[in-house]
Amino acid sequence: MKKIKSEVSVSNQMFKAKIGTVDKKNPETVYIEIGAYISPLEEKKSYKDDVNKIESHIRRNIDKILDGNDSFYGNHIFVSDVPFDRMSKGKKSYFEMQLFVRPVLKGMKSHSFSNIQEIVDKKIVCNLFDVLKESIQLCGFDISKSKKC
């Protein structure tokens, strides 16, 4: 039996974002995908340490967002992709992160994806936008939604 995938875009001025699940009828796992173009503000030989700081800051804050949140189980998967080896000042590189969470379905009136998507959007995604912006700018990068100026 083929599972029905569902995906919804989330509007934001700075980031491209979407929330989805691979099984619309039984959304046991929900993924959040967020991307933007980042550009270093100063010239360096390598941006590996800076990118590691960004990822570390995001991980700590995801843990804070999910800790004590009774709508999601504590375990999650965070993956990011940043081509730090091709970065240079003035050149935009695409930063993408994915977060996989498991919603607590017990006690929910509706297990529909649209109901879960609304909870994910309110309780995680809005906070993630702030965390990403802060993490990226704190480490000396500029952010934009598109590659064009």
Whether 114 maps to a domain, the answer reads yes
Whether 1 maps to a domain, the answer reads no
- The sign one gets for the Cα dihedral 106, 112, 115, 117 is positive
Q: How confident is the model at residue 4 (pLDDT cuts 50, 70, 90)?
A: low
Report the CATH number at residue 29.
3.30.300.330
**Residue-level pLDDT at 74:** 76
- The string of pLDDT tens digits covering residues 33-43 is 999 999 999 99
Number of domains in the chain: 1
Say what the pTM is.
Answer: 0.84
pLDDT at position 12 over 60: yes
CA torsion angle for 60, 12, 112, 33 (degrees, to 10)?
A: -50
Whether 148 maps to a domain, the answer reads no
Mean pLDDT of the 79-94 span: 91
- The string of pLDDT tens digits covering residues 101-116 is 888 876 555 566 666 7
